[in-house]
């Protein structure tokens, strides 16, 4: 369920619709439309074949509507700003070109593999292992730090917009997509209506100044079947939600929860920044070296990940009846807009427990 926009209202009838098998001509190549993979108030998103390189690509076809011209211009201006970034090093989607087709603005991007939402769905919502969370989180922090340096707020970070580049050749290498809702931090005003409802930060939803203290929202949507695990009363309780395993794995749990607590700090002046979060022990795995005799340490250190997420080897953490520890519950850390670019936003915390659905 990849997503390049969140709202679905159809495409304007004033413009002839692009059809499958049609060819769109850009300045650098032609793009043969294979199928449409998303549709919304913005227009359509097509999976295309680049006729010059034969590679699969994504072309976002923005509707020709006077009401959406400002949105189109805003998205193009944001992409121009982010074009100075190295997309492979900063984990943002690679933007190739802008062109016009029958009066419609078209934006050509690289074609990712699948979204984080898709992966969770394919796994039947089984929890992510700590090593998998670490790899994804590190790349998210790198991207946020790069965007912060440009003064850009994405404002629509959610599992649908976190894409895996190629799960076969580059496991867990991710990219941010969809900058249609992104805005310069300098344009943020108190009370602005930002983000999808289910992923809206508390301070945005309440229209309160960012310096106010809020209680972080925990969203747990239960399935009909009953869970036999007691829900945690605090973030610290997450460490013990599963039986205590070997020492290194338990230390890894504590390091993870410590990072979550810093991401959720109510005081914006004390909330951890993306740059500082990249130095957190959970990300650097500095705490793991203290357990040199642990098989868990060997597994953790087998994953070599630079800041861009390239050349990584993920330790398998799939469910197994004979392993001697269970993974920490999946925490979907949503990073919505914060009304300053200096600190990470207050995340909405999603806790995935066995027997529960998002």
Task: Sheet containing 114-115: give its strands across.
Answer: 114-115, 162-166, 170-176
Question: Is there a catalytic annotation at residue 156?
Answer: yes
Given the residues 156, 160, 178, 252, select the one marked as catalytic.
Answer: 156
Which residues, 6 or more positions from 262, have their beta carbon under 8 angstroms from its beta carbon?
271, 272, 277, 280
What are the structure tokens assigned to 88, written together? 């492979």
Residue found under tokens 């005081």:
267
The catalytic site residues sit at 156
């Amino acid at each position: 369920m990849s997503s390049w926009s969140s709202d679905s209202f159809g495409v304007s009838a004033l413009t002839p619709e692009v059809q499958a098998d049609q060819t769109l001509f850009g300045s650098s190549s032609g793009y043969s439309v294979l199928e449409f993979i998303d549709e919304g108030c913005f227009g359509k998103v097509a999976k295309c074949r680049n006729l010059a390189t034969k590679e699969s690509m994504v072309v976002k076809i923005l509707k020709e509507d006077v009401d959406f011209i400002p949105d189109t211009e805003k998205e193009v201006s944001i992409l121009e700003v982010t074009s100075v970034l190295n997309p492979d090093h900063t984990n943002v989607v690679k933007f190739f070109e802008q062109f016009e087709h029958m009066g419609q603005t078209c934006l050509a991007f690289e074609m990712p593999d699948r979204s984080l939402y898709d992966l969770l769905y394919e796994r039947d919502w089984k929890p992510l292992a700590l090593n998998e969370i670490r790899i994804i989180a590190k790349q998210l922090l790198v991207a946020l730090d790069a965007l912060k340096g440009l003064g850009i707020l994405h404002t629509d970070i959610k599992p649908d917009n976190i894409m895996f580049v190629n799960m076969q050749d580059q496991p867990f290498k991710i990219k941010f997509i969809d900058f249609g809702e992104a805005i310069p931090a300098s344009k943020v005003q108190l009370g602005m209506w930002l983000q999808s409802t289910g992923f809206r930060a508390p301070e945005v939803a309440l229209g309160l100044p960012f310096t106010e203290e809020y209680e972080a929202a925990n969203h747990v949507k239960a399935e009909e079947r009953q869970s036999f695990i007691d829900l945690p009363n605090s973030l610290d309780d997450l460490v013990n939600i599963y039986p205590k395993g070997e020492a290194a794995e338990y230390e890894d749990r504590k390091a993870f929860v410590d990072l979550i607590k810093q991401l959720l700090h109510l005081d914006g002046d004390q909330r951890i920044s993306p740059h500082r979060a990249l130095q957190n022990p959970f990300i650097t795995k500095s705490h793991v070296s203290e357990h040199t005799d642990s098989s868990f340490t060997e597994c953790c250190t087998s994953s070599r990940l630079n800041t861009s997420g390239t050349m990584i080897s993920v330790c398998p953490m799939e469910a197994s009846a004979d392993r001697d520890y269970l993974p920490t519950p999946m925490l979907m850390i949503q990073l919505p807009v914060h009304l300053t670019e200096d600190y990470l936003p207050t995340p909405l915390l999603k806790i995935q427990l066995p027997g529960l659905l998002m």
